[in-house]
C-alpha cells in the first residue's frame, strides 16, 4: 500500500469510527419503545397496594360496606408490637373508590376505647354527614354505630379521619384514602399509585407516644411523628421503569408534618388533586404538601435501568425552628428495573374548561386572623381573630352567596387552612392555574384571599388549621350557611 492509499484507509477507518456509533444510536432510538407500549414492571406497586372494602350492595352505583374502628396490634418497627387504631384492622383504612354521582353507605361501628366520628375531608356532601359531633351529629361512643350515607358530587382525591380528639386519633393511625373518578376527565398517561403519607410517634419499645408529649411546646410547634409511613409502611419499595410514567395521588394525613417531595429534581407534572383536575397542568421539580392537602401528578422515572434510589422527605420551612438542624428522611425505596428505557408519553396541557373564576362583584368580605396566644393557665390557646373555637361566633352566609375571605397569618408558624363542605378558589393562584381547593397553606407572615360560593347545603360547617395540634388548642371557627 502506498502512502496515498494508506491515507485513504486511515480516513475511511476514522469516518467509520464516527459513523457507526451515530448509526447505532439512530437505530437504537428508532427501536426505543414508548411508554404506552409497555406495562409497569411486574409487582411494581405490590408493596404499596391498599385494601378495598367488600361491597355489600349489588347496585354498581352504590358502594356499601361495614367499617369498624378497632385497635389492632401491628408491627410498625421491626420486632416491636404497637397497638394501632385502625379502620377494619388496616393502616391506612380501606381505599374507598367511587365514580362521580355514586352513593356511599358506610355502616360504621366504634369499637375503640374512646368516642369518635368520621369526617370526609374535602367532600361537598350534606351537612348531616360531615362528621363533626356537637354540630352535625351526635358523638359516636364506644360500642355505638352510625351510618354515613351520601352521594359524591365531585371527582378528586380525598380522605377520611375522625373529627374527635383528632390530633390523638389521627396520630394513632385513623385515616384512609378515597378516590372519586370522573369518567369524562381528560385522559393522561401514567398508572395510578396512591401514596398516603403519615407519621407516628412511637417510643423505643414501639408504644404509642402520649399525644400531648412536649406539652406547651408540642401544642405550639405541632407534633411530628418520629416514624414516617407511606401507606402504613416504613420505607416500602416501588418498582419503576425509566420513562414509564406513573400517576401519583399523594395525600398528607400527618397531624402536623409538612412534606417537601422531590426526586432528583425530575419534573412533576401537576394535574390538580383536591377537587379533581385543575384547568391546566403546571410543572415543578419540588412539591410542598401540607397536612390535609392532596396532589395528583405525573411522575416520570428518571433513573438508569438496574439502579436504585430513595424518595425522601425534605425539611420544609413552616416557621420557627422547623428546618433547624434537620436532615432529609427516607420515604420510599425506588427500584428501577433492568429493562430498556422507554420514551415518555406527552401529557396534555389543558385539562378542563369548566372552571371559571368566581364572580366576586359585591361579595361580602370576611377577615380571618389566625392567632396564637396564652390562656390564664399560661397554656397555648390558638384561635381565629383571637377567639378559641369553643367561644367562636359563626360567620353567617346565605345559600347561594359568594364571599371573599382574607386569611391572614401574622404568627411565626405556617397554618394549612381547611374549609369543610365547600371548595374555594385562591385569588391570584399559582401561575394562574384555576382549581378548586379545600385546603391551602398560609405561610407565616402572609395572607391569602379565597373566594367561596355557598351552594344549597345549609348547616354549621367548620374551618380550621389542619395542623391538628393547632386545631385542638382552638384554631378553628364556625360557618353557618343559612337557607
Ligand atoms: Cu396551625
To which CATH superfamily is domain 191-336 assigned?
Cupredoxins -  blue copper proteins (2.60.40.420)
| Cα 311 to middle of ligand 1, angstroms | 27
- Give the integer Cα–Cα distance in Å for 15 and 441: 60
| Cα 223 to middle of ligand 1, angstroms | 11
| Cα 467 to middle of ligand 1, angstroms | 5
| Cα 294 to middle of ligand 1, angstroms | 17
Tell me the pLDDT band of 428, cut-offs 50, 70 and 90. Answer: confident
Burial label, 338 (beta-carbon count in 10 A; 0-12, 13-18, 19+): exposed
- Give the integer Cα–Cα distance in Å for 278 and 355: 8
| Cα 237 to middle of ligand 1, angstroms | 32
**Nearest-5° angle of CA 390, CA 378, CA 215?**
85
Strand ordering across the sheet containing 176-181: 96-99, 176-181, 156-161, 119-121
> By the 8 A CB rule, do 254 and 199 touch?
yes
Give percent of the chain with pLDDT exceeding 90.
92
* 1: pLDDT strictly greater than 60: no
| Cα 73 to middle of ligand 1, angstroms | 31
Tell me the pLDDT band of 430, cut-offs 50, 70 and 90. Answer: confident
| Cα 66 to middle of ligand 1, angstroms | 33
Mean pLDDT (whole number) for 306-330: 95
* 7: pLDDT strictly greater than 70: no
| Cα 78 to middle of ligand 1, angstroms | 33
| Cα 414 to middle of ligand 1, angstroms | 6
| Cα 54 to middle of ligand 1, angstroms | 37
| Cα 338 to middle of ligand 1, angstroms | 45
Indicate the CATH number for domain 46-181: 2.60.40.420
- Give the integer Cα–Cα distance in Å for 114 and 172: 12
| Cα 409 to middle of ligand 1, angstroms | 9
User: Can you count the helices (H) and strands (E) in the chain?
Assistant: 4, 29
| Cα 447 to middle of ligand 1, angstroms | 14
* 40: pLDDT strictly greater than 70: yes
* 157: pLDDT strictly greater than 60: yes
pLDDT given for residue 464 in this prediction: 98
The domain limits of the chain are: 46-181, 191-336, 364-482
Mean pLDDT (whole number) for 34-62: 97
Please name the residue ranges forming H helices in 126-191: 166-171
* Least confident stretch, 4-8, 95-99, 191-195, 380-384: 4-8
| Cα 192 to middle of ligand 1, angstroms | 31
Identical fold between 46-181 and 364-482: yes
Mean pLDDT (whole number) for 54-76: 98
pLDDT given for residue 13 in this prediction: 57
| Cα 154 to middle of ligand 1, angstroms | 27
pLDDT given for residue 429 in this prediction: 85
pLDDT given for residue 48 in this prediction: 98
| Cα 221 to middle of ligand 1, angstroms | 9
Mean pLDDT (whole number) for 208-235: 96
Tell me the pLDDT band of 310, cut-offs 50, 70 and 90. Answer: very high
| Cα 475 to middle of ligand 1, angstroms | 7
Chain center to CA of 476? 21
| Cα 120 to middle of ligand 1, angstroms | 20
| Cα 316 to middle of ligand 1, angstroms | 15
Mean pLDDT (whole number) for 172-179: 98
| Cα 301 to middle of ligand 1, angstroms | 34
| Cα 459 to middle of ligand 1, angstroms | 25
- Give the integer Cα–Cα distance in Å for 472 and 348: 42
End-to-end CA distance of the chain: give it in Å, rounded: 102
Radius of gyration of the chain (CA): 25
Q: How many Cβ atoms from other residues are within 10 Å of residue 439's Cβ?
A: 20
| Cα 171 to middle of ligand 1, angstroms | 16
Mean pLDDT (whole number) for 313-332: 94
| Cα 470 to middle of ligand 1, angstroms | 5
Give percent of the chain with pLDDT exceeding 70.
94
| Cα 424 to middle of ligand 1, angstroms | 19
List the beta bridge partners of residue 86.
Answer: 70
Burial label, 390 (beta-carbon count in 10 A; 0-12, 13-18, 19+): exposed
| Cα 441 to middle of ligand 1, angstroms | 9
Q: What are the backbone angles phi and psi of residue 24, rounded to the nearest 5°?
A: -65, -45
* 15: pLDDT strictly greater than 60: no
- Give the integer Cα–Cα distance in Å for 118 and 170: 11
Mean pLDDT (whole number) for 423-446: 95
Selecting from 2.60.40.10, 3.40.50.300, 2.60.40.420, 3.90.980.10, what CATH number does the domain 364-482 have?
2.60.40.420
| Cα 275 to middle of ligand 1, angstroms | 22
Mean pLDDT (whole number) for 269-291: 97
- Give the integer Cα–Cα distance in Å for 227 and 357: 41
Q: What is the mean pLDDT of the chain?
A: 94
pLDDT given for residue 10 in this prediction: 58
List the beta bridge partners of residue 453.
Answer: 402
pLDDT given for residue 19 in this prediction: 53
| Cα 389 to middle of ligand 1, angstroms | 13
Mean pLDDT (whole number) for 196-209: 97
Amino acid at each position: 500500500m502506498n502512502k496515498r492509499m494508506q491515507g485513504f484507509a486511515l480516513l475511511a477507518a476514522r469516518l467509520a469510527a464516527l459513523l457507526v456509533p451515530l448509526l447505532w444510536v439512530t437505530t437504537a432510538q428508532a427501536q426505543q419503545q414508548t411508554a404506552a407500549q409497555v406495562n409497569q414492571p411486574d409487582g411494581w406497586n405490590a408493596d404499596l397496594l391498599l385494601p378495598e372494602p367488600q361491597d355489600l350492595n349489588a347496585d354498581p352505583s352504590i358502594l356499601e360496606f361495614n367499617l369498624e374502628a378497632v385497635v389492632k396490634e401491628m408491627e410498625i418497627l421491626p420486632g416491636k408490637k404497637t397497638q394501632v387504631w385502625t379502620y377494619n384492622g388496616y393502616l391506612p383504612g380501606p381505599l374507598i373508590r367511587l365514580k362521580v354521582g355514586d352513593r356511599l353507605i358506610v355502616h360504621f361501628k366504634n369499637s375503640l376505647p374512646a368516642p369518635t366520628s368520621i369526617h370526609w375531608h374535602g367532600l361537598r356532601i350534606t351537612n348531616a354527614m360531615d362528621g363533626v359531633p356537637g354540630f352535625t351529629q351526635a358523638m359516636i361512643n364506644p360500642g355505638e354505630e352510625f351510618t354515613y350515607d351520601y352521594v359524591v358530587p365531585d371527582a378528586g382525591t380525598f380522605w377520611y379521619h375522625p373529627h374527635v380528639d383528632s390530633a390523638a386519633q389521627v396520630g394513632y393511625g385513623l385515616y384512609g384514602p378515597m378516590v372519586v373518578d370522573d369518567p369524562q376527565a381528560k385522559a393522561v398517561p401514567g398508572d395510578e399509585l396512591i401514596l398516603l403519607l403519615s407519621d407516628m410517634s412511637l417510643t423505643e419499645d414501639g408504644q404509642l407516644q402520649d399525644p400531648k408529649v412536649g406539652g406547651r411546646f408540642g401544642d405550639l410547634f405541632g407534633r411530628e411523628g418520629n416514624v414516617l409511613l407511606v401507606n402504613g409502611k416504613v420505607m416500602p419499595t416501588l418498582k419503576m421503569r425509566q420513562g414509564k410514567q406513573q400517576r401519583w395521588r399523594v395525600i398528607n394525613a400527618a397531624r402536623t408534618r409538612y412534606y417537601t417531595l422531590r426526586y432528583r429534581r425530575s419534573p412533576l407534572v401537576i394535574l390538580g388533586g383536591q377537587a379533581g383536575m385543575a384547568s391546566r397542568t403546571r410543572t415543578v421539580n419540588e412539591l410542598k404538601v401540607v397536612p390535609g392537602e392532596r396532589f395528583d401528578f405525573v411522575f416520570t422515572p428518571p433513573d438508569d435501568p438496574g439502579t436504585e434510589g430513595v424518595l425522601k422527605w425534605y425539611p420544609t420551612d413552616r416557621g420557627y425552628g422547623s428546618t433547624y438542624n434537620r436532615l432529609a428522611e427516607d420515604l420510599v425505596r425506588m427500584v428501577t428495573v433492568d429493562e430498556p428505557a422507554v420514551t415518555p408519553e406527552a401529557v396534555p396541557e389543558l385539562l378542563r374548561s369548566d372552571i371559571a373564576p368566581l364572580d366576586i362583584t359585591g361579595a361580602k368580605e370576611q377577615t380571618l386572623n389566625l392567632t396564637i396566644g396564652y390562656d390564664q393557665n399560661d397554656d397555648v390557646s390558638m384561635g381565629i381573630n383571637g377567639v378559641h373555637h369553643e367561644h367562636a361566633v359563626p360567620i353567617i352566609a346565605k345559600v347561594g352567596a359568594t364571599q371573599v375571605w382574607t386569611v391572614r397569618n401574622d404568627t411565626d408558624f405556617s397554618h394549612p387552612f381547611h374549609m369543610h363542605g365547600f371548595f374555594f378558589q385562591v385569588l391570584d393562584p399559582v401561575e394562574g392555574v384555576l382549581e378548586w381547593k379545600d385546603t391551602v397553606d398560609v405561610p407565616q407572615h402572609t395572607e391569602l384571599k379565597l373566594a367561596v360560593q355557598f351552594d344549597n347545603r345549609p348547616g354549621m360547617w367548620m374551618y380550621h388549621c389542619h395542623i391538628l395540634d393547632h386545631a385542638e388548642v382552638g384554631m378553628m371557627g364556625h360557618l353557618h350557611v343559612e337557607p
